[in-house]
Structure 1
Amino acid sequence: MQYRMKTHMLTEVAIKELLVRTAMGSLATLNDDGTPYVIPVHYLYYNGSIYVHGLPKGQKIGNIKANPCVCMTVYEMDSLRLDPEGKPCDTNTKYQSVILSGKASLVEDIEHKREVLIEIVKKYTPQLAQKALPENMVNGTAVIQIQILDITGKYYE
């Protein structure tokens, strides 16, 4: 285990708070040839799972259908901590980060999908949360659920 994971581990509460407030994460899937495919995603942490939405076809969806194992990282950089003596190699960063791994699957149940999409609207565009979602948009949007199997978080102040 890394030294900082021993001394700067985020609590479970702090991990959940970071997942709720952060807007973007990086989702990693595996291509058919075993190379990683990492993309920035908007996401929702909801009922203990991560949800991602998007087009129903594409490399991300194809990769998940072929291999549901995924990894995701979410992070916030607060500021740089410059060394008082001006040493460039002793500059550090105040941050919080979470890395999780899990199994991804497409949400097929239309009511579950609608519920998640409504929560995504509440997170990103709360001013539109009272508007109904058009049926064709709910039906035509892919929603990926990531069952979290392992999660860690760390920080530096």
Structure 2
Amino acid sequence: MFRKMRRIRQELPLDRVEEVLHRGTNGVLAVQGDDGYPYAVPLSYVYHNSKLYFHSAKAGHKVDAIRRQPKVSFAVVDEDTVVSAEYTTYFRSVIAFGRAFVVEDAAERRDAFLALTAKYSADQPREKQEAEVGGCTQAILIGVEIDHMTGKEAIEYVKASQTK
């Protein structure tokens, strides 16, 4: 169903893919937009309990597209160093494919929202984070159940790790 990576030597193992997802602060969600056009939108997210979560307004292009067709992809760029003398970039990235859904379960919603606040506001007291989550009624939470994900890094990073 999902293609094998062509340059298999550059594929990241699952534990490193998950490290990238935990470390990243933003990614690009791609959905099937209006009139069959792809719609890709950058957003903040959290990778929690093997799912991706992000908050959203209750209505809009992204939410309409997800409700119409829940299959999505999500990309995170972890590293992108321009190496002008080599006419390339040294990169590391992850792409996940899955099915998006509006989180309806109250416990899952609270748990995932707390994970989001902990990721982006870790310096704030836990009580303040919990109050923020409890008072957040204007947003919905969207989860992505991941069907497949891969990570890839520049061959230069692969070679460097093999010489260590």
TM-score range, shorter chain: 0.7 to 0.9
Percent same amino acid at aligned positions?
29
Q: Which residue of 2 aligns with 1:104?
A: 100
Contact map agreement 1:118 1:129 (CA 8 A) in 2: no
Contact map agreement 2:77 2:94 (CA 8 A) in 1: yes
- Provide the secondary structure at the position in 1 that maps to 2:123: helix
Q: Which residue of 2 aligns with 1:27?
A: 29
Aligned length: 149
Higher share in helix: 2
- Provide the secondary structure at the position in 2 that maps to 1:121: helix
Shift of 1:34: 1.0
The normalised TM-score by structure 2 is 0.84
* Structure 1: runs of 5 or more not aligned: 84-89
Q: Which amino acid aligns with 2:139?
A: T
Q: Which runs of 4+ in 1 moved over 6 A?
A: none
Q: Which residue of 1 aligns with 2:113?
A: 117
Contact map agreement 1:77 1:93 (CA 8 A) in 2: no
Alpha-carbon RMSD: 1.6
Return the alpha-carbon distance in structure 1 between the equivalents of residues 98 and 148 of structure 2.
7
Which range moved further: 41-50 or 73-82? 73-82
Shift of 1:78: 4.2
Aligned ranges for residues 5-154 of structure 1 at < 5 Å?
5-83=7-85, 90-130=86-126, 131=128, 132-134=130-132, 135-137=134-136, 139-154=137-152
Which range moved further: 6-15 or 121-130? 121-130
Shift of 1:79: 1.8
Return the alpha-carbon distance in structure 2 between the equivalents of residues 111 and 11 of structure 1.
31
Q: Which residue of 2 aligns with 1:155?
A: 153
Contact map agreement 2:5 2:11 (CA 8 A) in 1: no
Shift of 1:2: 5.5
1:101–1:2 Cα change, 3 Å: closer
Q: Report Cα offsets for 1:21-69 as digits up to 9, x if no partner.
A: 0101000011241110000010110011111112111111110001101
* Structure 2: runs of 5 or more not aligned: 158-164
